[in-house]
Protein backbone atom coordinates (compact mmCIF):
# COMPACT_ATOMS: atom_id res chain seq x y z
CA UNK A 1 0.00 0.00 0.00
CA UNK A 2 1.53 3.37 -0.97
CA UNK A 3 2.41 5.71 1.92
CA UNK A 4 -0.24 8.28 0.87
CA UNK A 5 -3.10 5.72 0.99
CA UNK A 6 -1.82 4.26 4.26
CA UNK A 7 -1.74 7.76 5.82
CA UNK A 8 -5.28 8.57 4.61
CA UNK A 9 -6.56 5.29 6.06
CA UNK A 10 -4.98 6.07 9.43
CA UNK A 11 -6.64 9.51 9.50
CA UNK A 12 -10.17 8.14 9.02
CA UNK A 13 -12.82 8.44 6.35
CA UNK A 14 -13.49 12.19 6.88
CA UNK A 15 -9.78 13.05 6.76
CA UNK A 16 -10.14 15.73 9.46
CA UNK A 17 -8.58 16.20 12.86
CA UNK A 18 -8.64 19.38 14.97
CA UNK A 19 -6.40 19.55 18.03
CA UNK A 20 -7.47 16.66 20.27
CA UNK A 21 -10.99 16.46 18.80
CA UNK A 22 -11.75 13.71 16.34
CA UNK A 23 -14.05 15.20 13.74
CA UNK A 24 -14.82 11.63 12.67
CA UNK A 25 -16.19 10.92 16.15
CA UNK A 26 -18.37 14.05 15.92
CA UNK A 27 -19.68 12.99 12.49
CA UNK A 28 -20.38 9.47 13.80
CA UNK A 29 -22.26 10.90 16.80
CA UNK A 30 -24.41 12.95 14.39
CA UNK A 31 -25.17 9.91 12.24
CA UNK A 32 -22.56 10.43 9.54
CA UNK A 33 -22.51 12.95 6.73
CA UNK A 34 -26.30 13.01 6.36
CA UNK A 35 -26.69 13.72 10.10
CA UNK A 36 -24.24 16.62 9.80
CA UNK A 37 -26.20 17.97 6.83
CA UNK A 38 -29.45 17.72 8.83
CA UNK A 39 -27.79 19.61 11.70
CA UNK A 40 -26.65 22.37 9.35
CA UNK A 41 -30.15 22.62 7.80
CA UNK A 42 -31.64 23.02 11.28
CA UNK A 43 -33.52 19.70 11.09
CA UNK A 44 -31.47 18.02 13.82
CA UNK A 45 -31.39 19.61 17.26
CA UNK A 46 -28.58 19.23 19.77
CA UNK A 47 -29.52 19.74 23.39
CA UNK A 48 -27.26 20.12 26.36
CA UNK A 49 -27.12 17.08 28.62
CA UNK A 50 -27.19 19.14 31.79
CA UNK A 51 -27.59 22.71 32.85
CA UNK A 52 -30.19 25.41 32.78
CA UNK A 53 -33.37 24.67 30.78
CA UNK A 54 -33.69 26.59 27.52
CA UNK A 55 -37.05 28.13 28.50
CA UNK A 56 -38.26 29.34 31.88
CA UNK A 57 -41.88 30.08 32.77
CA UNK A 58 -42.88 33.76 32.80
CA UNK A 59 -46.67 33.69 33.05
CA UNK A 60 -49.89 32.26 31.68
CA UNK A 61 -52.72 34.60 30.80
CA UNK A 62 -56.25 34.46 29.48
CA UNK A 63 -56.57 35.79 25.97
CA UNK A 64 -58.34 39.03 25.17
CA UNK A 65 -59.99 40.61 22.14
CA UNK A 66 -58.16 43.90 22.83
CA UNK A 67 -56.20 45.24 19.87
CA UNK A 68 -52.47 45.97 20.27
CA UNK A 69 -50.74 48.95 18.67
CA UNK A 70 -49.09 47.38 15.62
CA UNK A 71 -47.38 50.10 13.59
CA UNK A 72 -45.43 48.00 11.07
CA UNK A 73 -45.24 44.49 9.64
CA UNK A 74 -42.39 43.17 7.50
CA UNK A 75 -43.01 42.79 3.75
CA UNK A 76 -42.95 38.98 4.02
CA UNK A 77 -45.84 39.13 6.47
CA UNK A 78 -48.32 39.97 3.71
CA UNK A 79 -46.84 37.28 1.42
CA UNK A 80 -46.97 34.55 4.05
CA UNK A 81 -50.02 35.56 6.11
CA UNK A 82 -52.04 37.91 3.87
CA UNK A 83 -55.59 36.70 3.55
CA UNK A 84 -55.25 34.18 6.36
CA UNK A 85 -58.05 34.22 8.91
CA UNK A 86 -57.14 35.41 12.40
CA UNK A 87 -57.88 31.93 13.67
CA UNK A 88 -59.53 30.80 16.85
CA UNK A 89 -58.22 32.38 20.01
CA UNK A 90 -56.92 29.97 22.66
CA UNK A 91 -58.37 30.34 26.15
CA UNK A 92 -54.93 30.60 27.70
CA UNK A 93 -51.45 31.30 26.42
CA UNK A 94 -48.06 30.92 28.06
CA UNK A 95 -45.00 33.14 27.86
CA UNK A 96 -41.58 31.69 28.55
CA UNK A 97 -38.21 33.41 28.69
CA UNK A 98 -35.36 32.24 26.46
CA UNK A 99 -32.38 31.49 28.73
CA UNK A 100 -29.71 31.62 26.03
CA UNK A 101 -29.29 32.32 22.32
CA UNK A 102 -31.04 29.59 20.38
CA UNK A 103 -32.49 28.62 17.02
CA UNK A 104 -36.09 27.76 16.23
CA UNK A 105 -35.73 23.97 16.12
CA UNK A 106 -34.34 23.87 19.68
CA UNK A 107 -37.06 26.25 20.94
CA UNK A 108 -39.85 24.18 19.37
CA UNK A 109 -38.34 21.01 20.87
CA UNK A 110 -38.18 22.69 24.31
CA UNK A 111 -41.85 23.71 23.99
CA UNK A 112 -42.77 20.07 23.41
CA UNK A 113 -43.82 19.95 19.77
CA UNK A 114 -45.17 21.99 16.88
CA UNK A 115 -48.78 21.65 18.10
CA UNK A 116 -47.92 23.41 21.39
CA UNK A 117 -45.69 25.93 19.61
CA UNK A 118 -48.15 26.98 16.90
CA UNK A 119 -50.47 29.86 17.76
CA UNK A 120 -52.97 31.82 15.67
CA UNK A 121 -52.67 35.47 14.59
CA UNK A 122 -55.49 36.21 17.08
CA UNK A 123 -53.38 34.59 19.84
CA UNK A 124 -50.31 36.61 18.87
CA UNK A 125 -52.26 39.89 18.84
CA UNK A 126 -53.81 39.00 22.20
CA UNK A 127 -50.34 38.47 23.69
CA UNK A 128 -49.12 41.81 22.29
CA UNK A 129 -52.20 43.58 23.71
CA UNK A 130 -51.65 41.95 27.12
CA UNK A 131 -47.95 42.85 27.17
CA UNK A 132 -48.75 46.40 26.06
CA UNK A 133 -51.36 46.80 28.83
CA UNK A 134 -48.82 45.55 31.40
CA UNK A 135 -46.10 47.88 30.09
CA UNK A 136 -44.00 44.83 29.17
CA UNK A 137 -42.12 45.64 25.97
CA UNK A 138 -39.84 42.60 25.99
CA UNK A 139 -39.41 41.20 22.45
CA UNK A 140 -41.67 38.24 21.76
CA UNK A 141 -41.34 35.22 19.46
CA UNK A 142 -44.14 32.93 18.30
CA UNK A 143 -44.73 30.28 15.66
CA UNK A 144 -47.65 30.46 13.21
CA UNK A 145 -48.78 28.47 10.18
CA UNK A 146 -48.73 30.54 6.99
CA UNK A 147 -51.26 30.43 4.12
CA UNK A 148 -49.55 27.26 2.80
CA UNK A 149 -49.49 25.51 6.19
CA UNK A 150 -45.75 26.11 6.71
CA UNK A 151 -44.70 26.89 10.28
CA UNK A 152 -43.01 30.33 10.42
CA UNK A 153 -41.36 32.34 13.18
CA UNK A 154 -43.07 35.63 14.00
CA UNK A 155 -41.52 38.20 16.32
CA UNK A 156 -42.48 41.61 17.61
CA UNK A 157 -40.43 44.40 19.13
CA UNK A 158 -41.70 47.57 20.78
CA UNK A 159 -40.27 50.84 19.51
CA UNK A 160 -41.86 53.70 21.45
CA UNK A 161 -44.93 54.12 19.26
CA UNK A 162 -46.01 50.48 18.96
CA UNK A 163 -45.13 46.95 17.90
CA UNK A 164 -43.02 46.14 14.86
CA UNK A 165 -43.81 42.63 13.61
CA UNK A 166 -41.26 40.54 11.70
CA UNK A 167 -41.51 37.08 10.12
CA UNK A 168 -38.83 34.63 9.04
CA UNK A 169 -38.38 31.00 8.06
CA UNK A 170 -37.38 28.46 10.69
CA UNK A 171 -33.96 28.03 9.06
CA UNK A 172 -32.72 31.51 9.94
CA UNK A 173 -29.09 30.91 11.00
CA UNK A 174 -28.91 33.85 13.40
CA UNK A 175 -31.32 32.54 16.01
CA UNK A 176 -32.89 34.41 18.91
CA UNK A 177 -31.22 36.25 21.79
CA UNK A 178 -31.48 35.28 25.42
CA UNK A 179 -34.20 37.23 27.22
CA UNK A 180 -36.75 37.15 24.38
CA UNK A 181 -40.14 35.81 25.42
CA UNK A 182 -41.64 32.83 23.57
CA UNK A 183 -45.41 32.55 23.17
CA UNK A 184 -47.12 29.17 23.00
CA UNK A 185 -50.21 27.30 24.04
CA UNK A 186 -49.86 25.68 27.47
CA UNK A 187 -48.73 22.05 27.22
CA UNK A 188 -51.57 19.50 27.46
CA UNK A 189 -50.50 18.34 30.95
CA UNK A 190 -50.83 21.93 32.22
CA UNK A 191 -54.46 22.00 31.05
CA UNK A 192 -55.42 18.70 32.70
Q: Which residues of the chain have pLDDT under 70?
A: 1-22, 25, 27-30, 44-51, 88, 188-192
pLDDT number for residue 62: 84
Break the chain into its structural domains and give their ranges. 3-41, 55-191
Q: Please write the tens of the pLDDT for every residue from 121-168.
A: 999 999 999 999 999 999 999 999 999 999 999 999 999 999 999 999
pTM metric for this prediction:
0.72
List, as one string, the DSSP characters of the chain: --HHHHHHHHH-TT---BTTB-HHHHHHHHTHHHHHHHHHHT-S----SSSS-SEEEEEEEE---PPP-EEEE-HHHHHHHTT----PPPSEEEEEEE-S-B-HHHHHHHHSSHHHHB--HHHHHHHHHHHHHHT----EEEEEE-TTS-EEEEEEEE-SSSEEEEEE-TT-SS-B-TT-EEEEPPPHHHH-
Amino acid sequence: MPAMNRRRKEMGKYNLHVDDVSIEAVFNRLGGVEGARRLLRGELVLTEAEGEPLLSFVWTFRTTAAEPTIVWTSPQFKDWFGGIAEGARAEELTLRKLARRSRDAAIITALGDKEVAAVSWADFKSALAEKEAEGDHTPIIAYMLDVNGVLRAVSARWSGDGWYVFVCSLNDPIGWSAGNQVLSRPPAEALA
